[in-house]
Amino acid sequence: SADEKINPLIKNFEQKLNELPAEPPNTTLAALLAGANATDTPTLYWRLLMTDDINNGGKLTDIPAITEESMLALSPDTLVWAAGKLQAKDPQRATALLKHAIGAHPDSEALLQAYQVYAEILKDQGYVDEALMLYEQISEQFAYADDAPSIILKRGDLLTDNDRFLEAISTFEEIILRDEWRGELHAEALYKIGVAYFHLNKLAEAHGFFERVIVGYPTFLEWAALSYFMDAQTLIKMGEANSAKQ
């Protein structure tokens, strides 16, 4: 009968339900973290600390020092998380963690994130060429990853920020050549190509790219609005103030 089939399922569900701790998950996690020790149980301690931080929206602003011995015991995900926490305050320590994660775990799924954090540290410290080389390496190695377009955009932005506009244009063109990225990614890349041409004083080209965003991607409001503004600036600079007012 139907009862004979469903009753064991209900009994199993009730049994599993009764096995759950009475306390909320955050309370249980906090208790486990309080009982862990960074020296005696580093793997457990750091994994719990990372989980607690993620559960609380990444609000943790400082973390204890990680010993060489502890570093060997930590997972690549934990190492990259810790490096991200340290990258602004202590980039040297963060870099050490990232280099260990990359060297010791070359096949890890955390490798892409490790490279990205490392590139950000290089950029923030003013090592522009090194950061660009690393972004290019990431793009080649992870060409079909979900983060691939954002990495290309970061490389283009860094080139633009350093007045390397022709290189930036070539980089952003990598986005618009990929049909599978059509949509907001194309709108962003087209706008940024227009900005690069504007800085090169190639105003007709800049106007053309801003128009492509305005006409082709009006639903992506951020890029359409920015393109309207920059197109008006371009037209004024071209001596077509009346067109800019329309």
pLDDT at 94: 94
Model pLDDT, residue 53:
82
pLDDT of residue 27: 59
pLDDT (tens place) for every residue of the chain, 246 residues total: 566 777 788 888 778 767 766 666 555 555 656 666 666 777 888 888 888 888 888 888 878 888 888 888 889 999 999 999 999 999 999 999 999 999 999 999 999 999 999 999 999 999 999 999 999 999 999 999 999 999 999 999 999 999 999 999 999 999 999 999 999 999 999 999 999 999 999 999 999 999 999 999 999 999 999 999 999 999 999 987 666 555
Contact between 126 and 111 under an 8 Å Cβ cutoff? The reply is no
